[in-house]
């Protein structure tokens, strides 16, 4: 039997939003409170990412499954009471398979109980401006008073995209290893059929109908569409595709990017922002937006294509002159993701020039351009750096992105923030079915583990890649 709230709620609601500006392009019943079903897990995952970022828990924390979590009805991963499983696998299961047992285990691991976690969900929702949402659980199964709106869920989807881009690729993976088994995406049909789609979350219960928050990117445009109350998977997907097309028609090609403000951190169990953990280092990186004349500063994310071409040519020529032909070492990764393609990434940075320390000449040379010339007529400077020696068959993966550009950008930013441990590593972008893998290779085992510890201390994702 449906609750009174479900009986009075409109059977259908929708919203279409330009993700870049937050402008609403279409809405219908967008503020009517309805059952969100598993769209709820977007908030569960948002808080999980937030907790990892703020050092409350790590992706490799072993979570002990409670009796409550193990007893949740399907969809589920099949967790057993007392079982221990890493948080990263629970996140994958909740995001991709929409596993209810995984969602409950996440909430209990972070807040101690699902009730406490639901209170944190509601505090975070209010801080985001989700004014007509009230959560009662971490999974979204029908419960009296557990309600949201198409507008609020669209806002939540936009926050996920902008606040945690390093995790956003989870929502477009068709399959993933969830520790105990490999899981398949609940929205494979739409992801495969609609051009540019890359997430975000499905939801279904009898009270809610078939719900979906979807995001798609074409060129410079990104649209987020939310539909509540679909009558079937097929009709819901068709409606979302129709609304997506409407959004792309109405969205301007160029628009000022207005990122949503980060909600106040709700960790620590209080009713407001909590203090960061003692001893934690907070590093704020601000990209310059203006520069004194007459010499403009180069912008890190907008390197001219002509300069990149010149640097690539210089690298090729330098390699031919400096290294005799030899076989290339094979970098082995985990069975979960095999290397399909590897490329040397030319990293550019506006860091001050320093004279490299002479080192013995090894078998492999990594080339890095350390400064884009300030003067217009100056030639780009190529600085050689020796890399890799015996026993350096380890590496680290720092993220899986949806585009090659994003992976290259992540490698560059990570290298600049962690020069002490990654200065000798070779940067590689690897394309696989689940996305573009950003890897640092050519490390010793101790070096790889140290790099991951330092990166995780900065709340960055990192996974050690072993030989063979």
Q: Which active-site residues does the annotation give?
A: 38, 41, 98
Residue 295: HSE in the Cβ half-sphere, 13 Å Cα cutoff: 7
CA distance 93 to 399: 18
CA distance 128 to 159: 8
CA-based max dimension of the chain:
77
Helix axes 114-128, 41-53, angle to 10 degrees: 90
Query: What single DSSP character describes residue 178?
Result: -
Give 189's contacts (C-beta < 8 A, 6+ positions apart).
233, 237
CA distance 329 to 71: 48
Query: Terminus-to-terminus CA distance in the chain, angstroms?
Result: 55
Within 81-129, strands assigned E span 84-86
Contact 40, 140 (CB under 8 A): yes
Contact 151, 27 (CB under 8 A): yes
Q: Which residues of 58-92 are buried (b: 16+ CB within 10 A; e: fewer)?
A: ebebebebbeebbebeebbbebeeebebbbbbbbb
CA distance 156 to 95: 14
Give 74's contacts (C-beta < 8 A, 6+ positions apart).
100
Query: What single DSSP character describes residue 172?
Result: G
CA distance 203 to 213: 9
CA distance 387 to 231: 58
Rounded to a whole number of angstroms, the CA Rg of the chain reads 24
């Amino acid at each position: 039997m449906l609750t009174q709230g479900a009986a009075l709620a409109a059977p259908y609601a929708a919203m279409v939003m330009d993700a870049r500006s937050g402008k609403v392009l279409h809405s219908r019943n967008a503020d009517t409170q309805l059952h969100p079903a598993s769209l709820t897990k977007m908030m569960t995952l948002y808080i999980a990412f937030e907790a990892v970022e703020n050092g409350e828990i790590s992706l490799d924390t072993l979570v002990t499954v409670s009796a409550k979590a193990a007893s949740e009805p399907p969809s589920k991963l099949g967790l057993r009471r007392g079982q221990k499983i890493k948080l990263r696998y629970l996140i994958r299961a909740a995001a991709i398979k929409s596993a209810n047992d995984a969602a409950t285990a996440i909430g209990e691991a972070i807040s101690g109980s699902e009730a406490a976690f639901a209170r944190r969900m509601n505090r975070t929702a209010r801080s985001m401006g989700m004014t007509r949402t009230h959560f009662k659980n971490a999974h979204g199964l029908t419960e009296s008073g557990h309600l949201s709106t198409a507008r609020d869920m669209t806002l939540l989807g936009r926050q996920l995209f902008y606040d945690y881009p390093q995790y956003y690729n989870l929502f477009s993976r068709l399959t993933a290893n969830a520790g105990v088994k490999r899981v398949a995406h609940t929205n494979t049909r739409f992801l495969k059929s609609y051009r540019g789609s890359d997430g975000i979350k499905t939801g279904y219960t009898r009270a809610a109908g078939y719900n979906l928050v979807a995001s798609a990117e074409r060129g410079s445009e990104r649209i987020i569409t939310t539909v509540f109350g679909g009558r079937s998977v097929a009709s819901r997907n068709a409606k979302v595709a129709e609304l997506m097309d409407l959004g792309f028609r109405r969205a301007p090609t160029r628009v000022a990017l207005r990122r949503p403000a980060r909600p106040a951190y709700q960790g620590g169990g209080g009713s407001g922002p909590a203090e960061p953990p003692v001893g934690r280092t907070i590093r704020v990186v601000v990209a310059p937006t203006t520069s004194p004349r007459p010499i403009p500063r180069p912008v890190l994310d907008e390197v001219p294509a002509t300069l990149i071409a010149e640097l690539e040519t210089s690298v090729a020529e330098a390699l031919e002159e400096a290294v005799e032909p030899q076989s290339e070492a094979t970098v082995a990764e985990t069975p979960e993701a095999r290397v399909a393609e590897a490329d040397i990434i030319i990293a550019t940075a506006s860091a001050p020039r320093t004279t490299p320390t002479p080192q013995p000449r090894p078998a492999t040379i990594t080339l890095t351009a350390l400064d884009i010339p300030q003067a217009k007529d100056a030639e780009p400077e190529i600085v050689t750096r020796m890399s890799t020696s015996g026993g350096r068959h380890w590496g680290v993966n720092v993220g899986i992105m949806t585009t090659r550009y994003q992976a290259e950008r992540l490698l560059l930013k990570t290298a600049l923030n962690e020069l002490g441990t990654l200065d000798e590593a070779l940067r590689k972008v690897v394309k696989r079915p689940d996305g573009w893998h950003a890897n640092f290779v050519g490390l010793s085992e101790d070096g790889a583990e140290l790099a991951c510890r330092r990166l995780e201390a900065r709340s960055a994702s990192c996974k050690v890649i072993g030989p063979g």
